[in-house]
Copies of this chain bind each other. A is one copy, B any other.
Amino acid sequence: MENFNYYTPTQIVFGKKSEEEVGKLVEKAGCKKVLIHYGSGSVIKTGLLDRVITSLDEKGIAYVLLGGVVPNPRLSLVYQGIELCKKEQVDFILAVGGGSVIDSSKAIGYGVANEGDVWDFYAKTRVPEACIPIGVILTIAAAGSEMSNSSVITNENGWLKRGCNSDYCRAKFAILNPELTMTLPEYQTMCGCVDIMMHTMERYFTTASPMELTDRIAEDLIRVVMKNAKIVLNEPDNYEARAEIMWAGSLSHNGLTGCGTEGGDWASHQLEHELGGMFDVAHGAGLAAIWASWARYVMDADVKRFAQFARNVMECPDTGNDKEDAICGIEAMERFYSSINMPISLSELGVEPKEEQYTELAEKCSFFGKRTIGVVKKLTKEDIYKIYKNAQ
């Protein structure tokens, strides 16, 4: 196995009514003025924002509001947030929402704490050296951004979707109340489940010699999400199932399921990022649509691993033929995605790129031929093009 670092300083406050702790937690962080950052306004409709403000008020903590974060969060709003925070002397950012709101909050946090253009950190021309403290009240179990060191922002100028990883942005606390996810539309809930599974699958598929404990935890986590996704599909108000998914979402992206496996593959995420940038599709649905095409394209490079996945996660019988079992696993995953109403092709995703768009996707995803993606098989621009095409 590989040497590894594991760092998850985020305090998790998990359970019913846990959002009522927010004032106390911001106070404990020693902060005085909060930017409450949120999305479309469902947090207003559900009364969550009121409860948050009440809790802050009780501790005498001031706040300003900035809503309007959209899926694939935009750089322009990040710039607005930075300006607002500086003007209002905000010293804490509270993300009330899902991955997009958290990622937008992290970008604002970088922008306030560092000089210069925050996009540099996403364009990878500079690295951040600080971030103002972030807290999270999670309303969507999906991105895992509440415990991760990553954020992804879309620059409308060219529709480039790029990520920035740094421990500075890790949330001080994350409040996880599964009840808050019960009002989500089914499609969004299922997209979240795919995203959660994929954060562990990306780490699972790697050429590094695996760590047994990490493998078992990873396999368990994926199975638990699959089982509870099906429960939630029929019973959206099932607290226990929502809780299993929510906690799995955080553990799936905090590094635990990658300990000793040297980072993971991440090609599927890179492939989806370009789709998201160009077509603004839901991240989880994009991942479901592209994964099997990626898997079939690369499986020969590590067929034993795909066979293990098939047997231990997808309940495929061990036929003794790794290749056969690997294919069984990929097909079983496609059936699972279909069973939770997730797309398994670009057309099911509602995307039908023109020929020049396939080329553009491959160009952008490979940084115009300047990088490969993935580790199971290092994928060139040409490989990337084929995977997109095979997914159509």
Measured CB to CB, the residues of A under 8 A from B are: 1-9, 11-16, 18, 211-214, 216-217, 220-221, 223-224, 227-228, 240, 243-244, 247-248, 251, 256, 259-260
Chain B residue with Cβ nearest A245: B213
Q: How many copies does the complex hold?
A: 2
Residues of B within 8 A of A247 (CB): 211, 213-214, 259-260
Chain B residue with Cβ nearest A4: B14
**Which listed residue, B11, B220, B243, B260, touches A14 by the CB 8 Å rule?**
B260
* A304 vs chain B, min Cβ distance (A): 17
Bound-state Cα–Cα, A223 to B244, Å? 22
Bound-state Cα–Cα, A286 to B152, Å? 51
Q: Are B248 and A213 in contact (CB under 8 A)?
A: yes
Residues of B within 8 A of A213 (CB): 220-221, 224, 244, 247-248, 251
Q: Are A211 and B15 in contact (CB under 8 A)?
A: no
Residues of B within 8 A of A13 (CB): 5
Chain B residue with Cβ nearest A9: B9
Q: Are A240 and B14 in contact (CB under 8 A)?
A: no
Chain B residue with Cβ nearest A227: B212
Bound-state Cα–Cα, A346 to B3, Å? 40
Residues of B within 8 A of A211 (CB): 243-244, 247
Would you list 22 pairs from A and B whose C-beta atoms are within 8 A, ordered by A residue? A1-B240, A3-B14, A3-B15, A3-B18, A4-B12, A4-B15, A7-B11, A14-B259, A14-B260, A211-B244, A211-B247, A212-B244, A213-B220, A213-B221, A213-B247, A213-B251, A216-B220, A216-B221, A216-B223, A217-B220, A220-B220, A243-B260
Q: Are B216 and A224 in contact (CB under 8 A)?
A: yes
Residues of B within 8 A of A7 (CB): 11-12
In the complex, given contacts A6-B12, A216-B223, A217-B217, what are 6 additional A-B residue pairs having Cβ atoms less than 8 angstroms apart?
A1-B240, A1-B243, A3-B14, A5-B11, A5-B12, A247-B259
Chain B residue with Cβ nearest A251: B213
Chain B residue with Cβ nearest A259: B247
Chain B residue with Cβ nearest A11: B7
* A313 vs chain B, min Cβ distance (A): 12
Chain B residue with Cβ nearest A223: B216
* A82 vs chain B, min Cβ distance (A): 27
* A263 vs chain B, min Cβ distance (A): 14
Chain B residue with Cβ nearest A241: B212
Bound-state Cα–Cα, A228 to B212, Å? 10
Residues of B within 8 A of A220 (CB): 213, 216-217, 220
* A226 vs chain B, min Cβ distance (A): 12
Bound-state Cα–Cα, A14 to B5, Å? 6
Bound-state Cα–Cα, A6 to B9, Å? 10
Residues of B within 8 A of A5 (CB): 11-14
* A316 vs chain B, min Cβ distance (A): 19
Chain B residue with Cβ nearest A15: B3
